[in-house]
Amino acid sequence: MTRIVTPVTRLLGIDLPIVQAGMSWASSSSALPLAVSNAGGLGVVAAGPMRLPDLDRTLAEMAAGTDRPWAVNLPLYRAGADEVIDLLLRHRPPVLIASQGGPRRYLGRFHDVGTRCLHVVAGVEHARKAADAGVDALVVVGAEAGGHPPPEMVTTQVLVRAVTRTVPEVPVITSGGIADGAGLAAMLALGAGAAQFGTRFLASTEATVHAAYKQAVLDAGVDATRTVGHGLGVIRALGNDFTARMLELEASGAEESLRRRIFQASTLKTAALHGDVAEGKVEAGQSAGLVDAVLPAAEIVARIVREYRTARANLPSITS
Ligand SMILES: Cc1cc2nc3c(=O)[nH]c(=O)nc-3n(C[C@H](O)[C@H](O)[C@H](O)COP(=O)(O)O)c2cc1C
């Protein structure tokens, strides 16, 4: 088995510093996470939109389907988060990646059952607080990311430097805008111990989103995404009829209640499960423009490793 050893791979017990991002619907089942974990990366089940019985079954499938580490992503704002936490504690996932809330709420209980606890942060202050609370590692999300980028839109490249300078003792996984092995090499050079790939794995055979969604990712250029819902929980999504309407409302200074109504009327589920890529939220990152084919997840992992090798070999050496 090929290995690239970093503080993150040592912490999590994985062979490669390649993390598949938790993505609602796309990885809210065992198919994609199992494929990534079995290929040497870290597969992540997105628990955000899952009903308890489905999550219960999926976690059992994960345990049965691999002897490699895997993770669950839990947005702490989701309805019934406390019941989900109880369910997760029964399954003892090797890794928990929590987002959108404070770590103190769950940390002690998961550490007690042997789970490594990672927390998603989108700013330096938040990173410092999570580190002080005792998380094992941070997932740092920058502006390029699909889904929820940081409200201040600080780029991944700048944020990872700021966070690794602020909490140098904490292993960091970077997320947002990374789609290939050159991106992975860049992130490791910037001080990260692994990179998290979202949009790249959306265009995988195993991702459970509609074929029209995957095609929209393939068709997109690097300038095809829009950020909408400023002040409402901003998202980055592929530009479509929904984002055009939101941008119009934002530009004309429409009242918050109207903007919120339009923002909430469109959902990720509409695009991901029903394939409505005109009216749904087609969440994807700028790196959609770097994704050129739908591939099996194991092939994506292997390709990233090959590209990483090439990127390293192409770096000029210092001469004097
Ligand atoms: C379709 C989609 C759904 C997402 N769902 C979640 C989620 O449920 N929880 C979460 O913490 N992040 C979520 N994200 C954000 C990703 O975990 C990750 O940070 C992002 O995709 C990284 O940027 P990239 O797409 O440029 O690789 C989602 C992203 C996408 C594209």
At residue 101, the pLDDT reads 86
Burial of 255 from C-beta contacts in 10 A (0-12 / 13-18 / 19+): exposed
Q: How far does the centroid of ligand 1 lie from the alpha carbon of residue 318, in Å?
A: 37
Model confidence pLDDT, tens digit, residues 22-54? 999 999 999 999 999 999 999 999 999 999 999
Counting atoms of ligand 1 from 1, which one is nearest the CA of 148?
Answer: 15
Question: Distance between CA atoms of 112 and 83, rounded to whole angstroms?
Answer: 18
Per-residue pLDDT averaged across 89-113, rounded? 95
At residue 105, the pLDDT reads 86
Question: Distance between CA atoms of 14 and 69, rounded to whole angstroms?
Answer: 7
- Whole-number percent of the chain with pLDDT over 70: 100
Question: What are the residues whose beta carbons fall under 8 Å from the beta carbon of 54, sequence distance 6 or more?
Answer: 28, 29
What is the pTM assigned to this prediction? 0.98
At residue 78, the pLDDT reads 87
At residue 288, the pLDDT reads 98
Residue 79 has pLDDT above 90, yes or no: no
Residue nearest to atom 8 of ligand 1 (CA): 24
Residue 1 has pLDDT above 90, yes or no: no
Residue 276 — pLDDT band, cuts 50, 70, 90?
A: very high
Q: How far does the centroid of ligand 1 lie from the alpha carbon of residue 114, in Å?
A: 26
Question: Distance between CA atoms of 152 and 315, rounded to whole angstroms?
Answer: 32
Residue 193 has pLDDT above 90, yes or no: yes
Q: To which residue do tokens 């940390």 refer?
A: 107
